[in-house]
Amino acid sequence: MSFHKDILPYDDDADILINVKYFPSLARLSAMNTTATWQMYVKSRHNFKFFFRESPSAGGYPWNWPFIGIQLFLENETHIYADHLIDKKHIYPLVLRPIAGLWLPGPRHVHEYLNDLPKSYFLEYSIDKKCMMKAYSHHHEVALYEERIIDCEQLHNVYPYIRRSCEKNFCYEYFMLDSVPFFIF
């Protein structure tokens, strides 16, 4: 069983979730920023774009590309909510994970989190077996490509992936390229 933990070669944006309680701080920070090289576009109370001022325009929108999409979430004792319910046990405690050459905090159980997403995210294909190239270009903010679905194994020799080996109550995750493990966690 394997799945990718990084931005796939086909994806051109990154998204992060931040607790809604930090909205006032983010809004103040955005309003104070007049001379920095970066900017935040506050699209709504639940959606921001963080980008560099000198980057190219994202299809004529008020933000530039590349950007980081910031979505705010609500929470209760067991779940967070950002477009859909996410069980906290899949997210916390955060662990460091390899993403785009960096070690960044990420969800504790990525596989379970992805399996809990609404099926429309993956067109009901197995996240372990199928890799999908979406039609949408965030660079131009329009659909530019033909949506494609391939066997993930076709990417294993050129793109790192995670191979999971599970026992009753624990899974080992192997960060792989082709059939060579880079790291076990």
Q: CB–CB of 137/144 below 8 Å?
A: yes
What pLDDT is attached to residue 5? 37
What pLDDT is attached to residue 124? 66
Alpha carbon separation from 105 to 16, 156, 163, 183 (Å, rounded): 11, 24, 19, 16
Q: Tell me, yes or no, if the pTM score tops 0.85.
A: no
What pLDDT is attached to residue 110? 82
Alpha carbon separation from 49 to 13, 43, 66, 115, 118 (Å, rounded): 10, 7, 10, 26, 24
User: Across residues 21-31, what is the average pLDDT?
Assistant: 87
Q: CB–CB of 115/93 below 8 Å?
A: no
Predicted confidence band of residue 178 (pLDDT cuts 50, 70, 90): confident
Quick: pLDDT tens for 77-122.
Answer: 999 998 889 899 999 999 888 776 778 888 888 888 877 777 666 6
Quick: pLDDT tens for 36-56.
Answer: 899 998 877 777 899 999 999
Q: Where do runs of H (alpha helix) occur along the chain?
A: 23-32, 88-91, 110-116
